Amino acid sequence: MPGNRIRVYVRFKDLKPVVDFVFETEGQLQQYQRVTTALGVKRIVSVDPRSRSIRVEVPPRAREVESSRSLNGFILHFERESEASAWIDPICRPVPNCPKVVVIQQYWDQGDLGEVLRAADEKYARRAPNLVADRRQRALTPPKKWFPYGRGPE
């Protein structure tokens, strides 16, 4: 029997489908938000820390949405492989031999969800861009001079 569950709601509002992910803990919500932001593919519509939910817009090229008990979640069918692969993250998983299909996994074994989100958060935190130092700090510290062939300034 699954230990953790993400409540997933697929809603069609104003002809724009959205997916609501409702997590059991606020930590899971924050980790998933960081991973989704780092990937930069999904368009986050809203985040509600009180209800521990994040709302993501489904791309317009998602042709079909269905639920699957055997796959433990919802299935999204896309028109293009590139759009399906862009939706892959720790919760939205690819289906083997079906490159245009993504499963939003809803039921997890005890502890697996937290472990998967933690690993993904660490992975994408390392890929975060290095920020350039403030301009004033850069102006105060001149670069070290490098002179080829061991010669110094004359």
Tell me which residue range forms the domain holding 137.
Answer: 4-150
- 0.85 exceeded by pTM: no
As for how many domains the chain has, the answer is: 1
Residue 151: count of CB within 10 angstroms of its CB? 7
Residue 108 has pLDDT above 70, yes or no: yes
From CA 76, how far away is CA 61, in angstroms rounded?
10
Residue 133 confidence (pLDDT): 44
Question: Once rounded to an integer, what is the mean pLDDT over residues 16-45?
Answer: 85
User: Mind listing the pLDDT tens digit for each residue in 114-153?
Assistant: 888 888 878 776 654 444 444 555 455 555 555 555 555 5
User: Mind listing the pLDDT tens digit for each residue in 57-101?
Assistant: 888 888 888 888 887 788 899 999 988 888 888 888 888 888 899
